[in-house]
Chain A
Amino acid sequence: MPIVGAFCVTLHKDRCINSRMPGKCATCVEVCPYEVYAMDDEGQVMVQNFNACVGCRICVEFCPYNAIRINPAEPEYISRSLWTFAQVEEIHYKSLTGQYLLRGFGTMGPLPHFDNIVVVPSQLASPPPKDKYREECKMEVVIGEETAKNPIRLRLPIIFPAMSFGALSREAKLALAICAARTGIATNTGEGGVVEEEPYYSKGFVDKEMTKRKWSPGGHLVIQWSTGRWGVSADYVNAGDAVEIKIGQGAKPGMGGHLLGAKVTEEIAKVRGIPVGSDALSPCRYYDVLTFEDLKKQVGFLRDVTNYEKPIWMKLGPSRPYEDVRMAALAGVDAISIDGMAGGTAASPDVVTQGVGIPTIACIPPAVRALKDLGLHRRVKLFALGGIRGGLDAFKALALGADGVGFGTAAEIAMGCRACMACHKGGCPYGITSQDPKLRARLDPEAAAERLTNFVKATAEEIKMLAMLSGHDDIKELSEEDLRALDINTAAITGLKLVGYERRLPWWEQQETTR
């Protein structure tokens, strides 16, 4: 028997046939084994003892007018964990359909995240704070300075990570490109090919010949090279300012992608270069990479195809951050993005998004150590992705050692998304993740770009404010000393000093002395 009084029982009188016609229906009274309901002498049904309800919901099943709601009276983590209503319904869904759950939006629930870290301001024991109104703080991040003829200069330590045309609407892709142009940051094609306007919009021009500038200062476009190779040609890899080799992503590391044939509309088929209605399956690994040596050769020919002009980037999912980042750096790339498990703009099986990967804050320190051990930290640029919500998270990622951060989900929300998490269904009411022309018409690229630009600017100000109050005038100076962990768990995961204790946990200190 569960806890007494665990449920609220609500009878909706506007739906209940008995409340309009007393005596007409008393199904709930009949089916409830615990006498929660009763019928009085006039035939009127009422809830006589909600404390007796055990939450079996047989009354809900049988009510012919769908008039009954049973809700947990207190948080289910107290009264019903592990068997919450949502868990029960999930099992019912699977037992009825034989299918697993699919959704967008990354890992939900209490994952170690940036919230367990605080920023340390300057007082006496460290260089004094900087004056945000009068003094400057350098925010620029340069990618490929030592290797590429045309390095990328990001004005802010911010990128929009890969989200494909197909997953996103054309309008959303263009909004990201316009915002990149307006803020001097980079957007990424994703693996669904390049939208015609993306290359020149991201530079700030409204025409292909790039004679008419509309948006300043102009941004950058990263071209993604992935396992499905949609719309990929020599022209495609040269259409942007860098090429990103995708190895994995936070939402579903170890899995590829799959745009169902039903979503391969004429427009998408054209950009992806495949028949209308055919499944666009992106395999989980490269069929043309069998060994690590092959991966190095890919970096080599991508440099050659782009005439040694463009930086080469690599995107990793959250797996073994130290070893993976080490290998990516040894493959010879100029920048590495590592996506934590909270990352999740992609539709993904629920079990994968929920249970597979490493939290973002646990990916950054090993990645930084790998680069430091190779003498490549700050030379090969590291971008942290996955559940980064604003300037505070971004600052913490930078202080942990990343050179920049990516906003995927936050960018969607900045465009107007309300996080309903049903992106994969194709019915996005804000036109961001839908291919339906009627829904897409609701998203004006320039208006969405305005919102994105405001968001990026506000976020950059937040980063700047935090950097300056902790005594820095260049984001490259940020370090772990600017952060403290709030709890032992976070201190153990990240190697940050623990608040109060003011030191790193013993095994981190030991590791330092034994190194």
Chain B
Amino acid sequence: MTRVLNAKGQDLRTVSREMKSLIEEESVVTIKNASHLHGLCAGLKKGEITIEGDSGDYLGVLNDGATIKVRGNAGKYIADNMTRGMVLVEGDADYGAAQYCYGGTVFIRGNAGDFAATMNKGATIIIGQDVGDEVGTYMLAGDLIIIGNAGLNLGNYLIRGNIYIGGQWVSLGHNCRQERLAPEDLTKLEGYFAPYEIAVEPKRFKKITPQSVKPFYK
């Protein structure tokens, strides 16, 4: 059963406590008027939460198993340091989406800002439209999929992991190289696209991987 929380005028501690007790009752939770709350849904291990409208910053930080949906736009640092679970944004995500993630899936249907997916250590991060500059900086593992275009220095100092991009980049970062798509890549991308009904042809994607396994010192 779905329960609705109105966060208007409430502080993080109160909303967080009520939300957690609803999750314990196995309820699906919808939270309204939550854009002033930063760090909401932090470190949840289970539950299904929908934010009606826009979210504040650090939504779903340290998420460890919950499914969090944002109907509007997300603030800065959405899904920061996520380890498990799923974060879905229907609109755009501000600066620094899905940084420091170890696992789970982040899907942003709209655009994402600068420094998205920085230091990704294993999550699957899918951006439905364009991304800003310096996206995927210092990535260590995982897949970053950009359906649209990227700005400056895409994948700067890529350490490990893969970046797939459907559109163009303004410039590629240090230690990046373009690689031919393998049949496994096509299957993988199809698998990623199906649940979100993304109607693009995996074949037109470009794959970027690290040039050297040691990007800092020879």
Contacts and interface: CB of A to CB of B under 8 A. Distances in A.
A97 to B, nearest CB: 13
Interface residues on A, range: 20 to 34
B180 interface: no
A237 B43 contact: yes
A288 B61 CA distance: 11
A17 interface: no
A439 to B, nearest CB: 23
A275 B162 CA distance: 14
Given A234-B62, A261-B214, A278-B159, A287 B122 contact: no
Interface in B169-201: none
Interface string B96-108: 1001101000000
Interface string A284-304: 000110100010011011011
A281 B138 contact: yes
Interface in B64-111: 64, 76-77, 80-81, 83, 95-96, 99-100, 102
Nearest to B75: A297
Interface of A is mostly: loop
B216 A273 contact: no
Interface in A232-253: 232-235, 237-238
Interface string A159-196: 00000000000000000000000000000000000000
B102 A278 contact: no
A237 B62 contact: yes
Given A233-B83, A287-B118, A304 B13 contact: yes
B207 interface: no
B100 A232 contact: yes
A309 B63 CA distance: 19
A274 to B, nearest CB: 5
Nearest to B210: A278
A419 interface: no
Given A232-B100, A275-B140, A288-B80, A301 B95 contact: no
Interface of B is mostly: loop
Nearest to A99: B217
A233 B103 CA distance: 10
A274 B101 CA distance: 11
B100 A229 contact: yes
B39 A300 contact: yes
B102 A234 contact: no
Interface string B42-64: 11110000000000011001111
A281 B138 CA distance: 8
Nearest to A305: B43
A279 B62 contact: no
B138 A305 contact: no
A294 B57 contact: yes
Contacts of B119: 228-229, 283, 287
Nearest to B56: A297
B159 A297 contact: no
A232 B95 CA distance: 21
Contacts of A101: none
A290 B16 CA distance: 24
A64 to B, nearest CB: 33
Task: Among A260, A298, A304, A305, find the residue whose CB has the most chain B CB atoms closer than 10 A.
Answer: A304
Contacts of A304: 12-13, 16, 39, 42-43
Given A273-B122, A278-B213, A301-B38, A290 B159 contact: no
A256 B166 CA distance: 34
Contact of B96 (A281, A288, A305): A288
A234 B16 contact: no
B44 to A, nearest CB: 8
A273 B76 contact: no
B85 to A, nearest CB: 10
A278 B12 CA distance: 38
A234 B141 contact: no
A497 B138 CA distance: 51
Contact of B95 (A229, A258, A278, A290): A290
Interface string B117-146: 011011000000000000001101100000
A288 B160 CA distance: 21
A259 to B, nearest CB: 11
Given A260-B217, A288-B96, A304-B39, A233 B102 contact: yes
16 contacts: A229-B100, A232-B102, A233-B62, A234-B64, A261-B213, A273-B102, A277-B213, A279-B214, A281-B159, A287-B137, A288-B76, A288-B81, A288-B100, A297-B58, A301-B42, A305-B43
Interface of A: 228-229, 232-235, 237-238, 258, 260-261, 273-275, 277-279, 281, 283, 287-288, 290, 294, 297-298, 300-301, 303-305, 308
Given A290-B95, A301-B62, A304-B13, 8 more contacts: A233-B83, A234-B43, A234-B63, A274-B141, A275-B160, A287-B100, A304-B16, A305-B61
Q: Which 7 A-B pairs have the closest CB atoms?
A: A301-B39, A234-B43, A305-B43, A297-B38, A233-B83, A234-B64, A229-B100
